[in-house]
Amino acid sequence: MSSIDPTRAQFDAFKALPRDRPIQMLNLVRLRPLADYPADHPDHGKGLSGLEAYRAYGRTTAELFRRVGGRQIWTGRPETVVTGPADERWDLAFIAEYPDARAFLAMVTDTDYREWVKHRQAAVEDSRLIRLAPLTPGDGFGE
């Protein structure tokens, strides 16, 4: 079973957490080989790859992401799973930071965003979006 958008329960759990402190969002993304746009979308049938559709999502949402105070603080290309299910693979991994949860909520509920997110939905085969509370690292793992 793939996860592309949050369930109602997951979104409610997110909204129940404090909204007035910085948050980071870990994104793990597996892309479709071919984007799957709905029939009424202008990009339907154009043969775009999942990566091309995901890049369209990034381009269209970039200004809104910056306007709400978001920034990408880390990005990487996963190479192999060292611990975990051997069949789990991700094409993209990144951490986005927001000044607070209200900023993230403002972005995902924006009227224009609701249209632009269709690029993401067409691009993504599976994903994980995990809210993180930033911590100051200590000297050892887990500190």
Residue 138 lies in a domain: no
CA quadruple 110, 113, 114, 117: dihedral positive or negative?
A: negative
Spatial distance between the Cα atoms of 92 and 82, rounded to a whole number of angstroms: 16
Spatial distance between the Cα atoms of 80 and 78, rounded to a whole number of angstroms: 6
DSSP 7-69: -HHHHHHHHHS-SSS-EEEEEEEEE-SB----TTSTTTTS--BHHHHHHHHHHHHHHHHHHTT
Residue 143 lies in a domain: no
Residue 106 lies in a domain: yes
Which residues, 6 or more positions from 32, have their beta carbon under 8 angstroms from its beta carbon? Answer: 49, 50, 53, 122, 123, 124, 125
Predicted local confidence at residue 137, as pLDDT: 87
Residue 16 lies in a domain: yes
Residue 1 lies in a domain: no
Residue 89 lies in a domain: yes
In the chain, the number of structural domains is 1
Q: What is the DSSP letter of 140?
A: S
Residue 141 lies in a domain: no
**What are the average pLDDT values for consecutive 10-residue runs of the chain, which has 143 residues?**
90 96 97 97 97 98 98 96 91 98 97 97 97 90 78
CATH number, residue 49: 3.30.70.100
Predicted local confidence at residue 139, as pLDDT: 86
Structural domain span for residue 22: 8-132
Residue 44 lies in a domain: yes
Q: Angle 115-100-136 (CA atoms, 0-180°, nearest 5)?
A: 130
Predicted local confidence at residue 114, as pLDDT: 95
Spatial distance between the Cα atoms of 13 and 71, rounded to a whole number of angstroms: 23
